[in-house]
């Protein structure tokens, strides 16, 4: 008998997040065999919706085998089948069920960059032109990374996902309207004073259609507008690497100085991926106050109420962004202790709580 929480999550993913219609092809992608329970239930829900389910289940060890053994030519290879899938599949469910989140920590950043560039045409089609949703499935690896038992992590995840997302939508639209009318955003906090232009950009309210869990309102700032500096008090994790104590300085929109207390070499390598990697592609405001603790997982952490996150690299076309890059790396700034958020010189949030 399946866990009713898993059944409920599958229903949300297929009926709410993707709104699968009769005749559509849905690819269910899982990062490991540990995702079997949610794969089975989403497969069932796609059939009930009249769609055509397909599956792509990976073994986590395959990535290590690939990076350890692939030649330069193989790293740069773009499989035509992946490009075909991206073009002709209607919806994608991406389920992360990590056995070991540190599995790629020993891989050369240059190899990761090379592979990201090779697969960029596929990711661009999926992200910008297709309906997709990303979610986690509880595993010991994810629980351990979040400093929780598996049972604690299951409660943490399902309490954040299995909620009334239509109610969340109504609450987020208030913030969206403020951002849509705004011209500048200023972020103030510990070692942070950063100003961005948002003039002409429209914000997107996120209530479970792309990420699960969700709970943010985001937009793409004007590419050449970022001025000032920011310190990220929460670890920034990308491609399995944890970078701690990031400090970035911006001028005319670009990162002109970058440092980190841990893994600074990796940070520099990512920022040097391509021309767009030093520009901001996203500003997001977390509004999910049900997620109170940092779990070392951006899917949850960027939604924490009272935080903002800024992504270096690729922007979102639907958010008005024009920046092109092979990377998109979200970094979280906690504003719950002494932080302030302004729109057009109007204080809208203090110490992580909205004052509007």
Is residue 310 within 8 A of residue 332, CB to CB? The reply is: no
**Is it the case that residue 167 has pLDDT exceeding 80?**
yes
Q: Which residue has the higher pLDDT, 127 or 39?
A: 39
DSSP code string of 215-263: -EEEEPPPTT--EEEEEE-S-EEETTEEEBSEEEEEETTEEEEEE-SB-
Is residue 118 within 8 A of residue 326, CB to CB? The reply is: no
Mean pLDDT in residue range 118-133 = 92
Looking at the chain, the whole-number percentage of residues with pLDDT higher than 70 is: 100
- 66 sits in which H/E element: helix 61-69
The CATH number of domain 4-161, selected from 3.90.79.10, 3.40.50.720, 3.40.1830.10, 2.60.60.20: 3.40.1830.10
Mean pLDDT in residue range 101-129 = 88
pTM: 0.77
| pLDDT band (50, 70, 90) for residue 34 | very high
134 burial level (CB within 10 Å; 0-12, 13-18, 19+): middle
**If we measure between CA atoms, which residue out of 212, 103, 97, 104 comes closest to residue 150?**
97
**Is it the case that residue 240 has pLDDT exceeding 80?**
no
Least confident of 97-106, 205-214, 239-248: 97-106
Separation between Cα atoms, residue 106 and residue 222, nearest integer Å:
36
> Which residue is it, tokens 């008005």?
320
Considering just the CA atoms, what is the radius of gyration of the chain in Å? 20
**Is it the case that residue 183 has pLDDT exceeding 80?**
yes
The pLDDT assigned to 256 comes to: 98
- Render pLDDT for 69-112 as a digit per residue (tens, 0 to 9): 999 999 999 999 999 999 999 999 999 999 887 788 888 888 98
**Is it the case that residue 187 has pLDDT exceeding 90?**
yes
Torsion 147-153-157-162 (CA) sign: negative
* CB hemisphere CA count around 186 (13 angstroms): 11
- Paired with 30 in beta bridges are 57, 95
Is residue 310 within 8 A of residue 323, CB to CB? The reply is: no
**If we measure between CA atoms, which residue out of 339, 340, 312 comes closest to residue 326?**
312
Torsion 19-329-235-75 (CA) sign: positive
Domain boundaries defined on the chain:
4-161, 165-354
> Which residue is it, tokens 């009926």?
15
């Amino acid at each position: 008998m399946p866990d009713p929480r898993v059944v409920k999550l599958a229903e949300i993913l297929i009926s709410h997040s993707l709104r699968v219609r009769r005749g559509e092809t849905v690819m269910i992608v899982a990062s490991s065999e540990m995702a079997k329970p949610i794969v089975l239930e989403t497969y069932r829900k796609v059939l009930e919706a009249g769609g055509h389910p397909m599956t792509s289940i990976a073994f986590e060890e395959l990535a290590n085998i690939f990076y350890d053994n692939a030649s330069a030519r193989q790293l740069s290879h773009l499989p035509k089948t992946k490009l075909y899938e991206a073009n002709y599949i209607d919806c994608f469910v991406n389920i992360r069920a990590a056995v070991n989140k540190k599995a790629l920590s020993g891989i050369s950043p240059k190899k990761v960059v090379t592979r990201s560039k090779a697969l960029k045409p596929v990711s661009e089609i999926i992200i910008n032109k297709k309906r997709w949703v990303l979610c986690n499935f509880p595993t010991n690896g994810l629980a351990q990374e979040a400093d929780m038992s598996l049972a604690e992590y299951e409660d943490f995840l399902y309490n954040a996902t299995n909620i009334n997302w239509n109610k969340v939508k109504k609450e987020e639209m208030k913030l969206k309207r403020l951002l849509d009318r705004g011209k500048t955003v200023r972020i103030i906090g510990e070692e942070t004073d950063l100003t961005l232009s948002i003039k002409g950009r429209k914000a997107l309210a996120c209530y479970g259609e792309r990420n699960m869990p969700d709970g943010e309102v985001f937009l793409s700032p004007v590419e050449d507008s970022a001025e000032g500096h920011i310190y990220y008090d929460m670890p920034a994790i990308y491609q399995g690497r944890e970078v701690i104590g990031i400090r970035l300085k911006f001028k005319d929109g670009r990162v002109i100085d970058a440092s980190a207390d841990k893994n600074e070499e990796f940070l520099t390598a990512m920022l040097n991926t391509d021309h767009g990697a030093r520009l901001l592609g996203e500003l997001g405001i977390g509004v999910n106050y049900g997620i109170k603790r940092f779990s070392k997982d951006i899917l949850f952490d960027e939604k924490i109420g009272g935080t903002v996150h800024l992504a270096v690299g690729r922007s979102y076309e639907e958010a008005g962004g024009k920046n092109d890059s092979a990377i998109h790396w979200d970094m979280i700034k906690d504003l719950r202790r002494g932080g302030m958020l302004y729109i057009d010189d109007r204080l809208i949030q203090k110490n992580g709580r909205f004052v509007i």
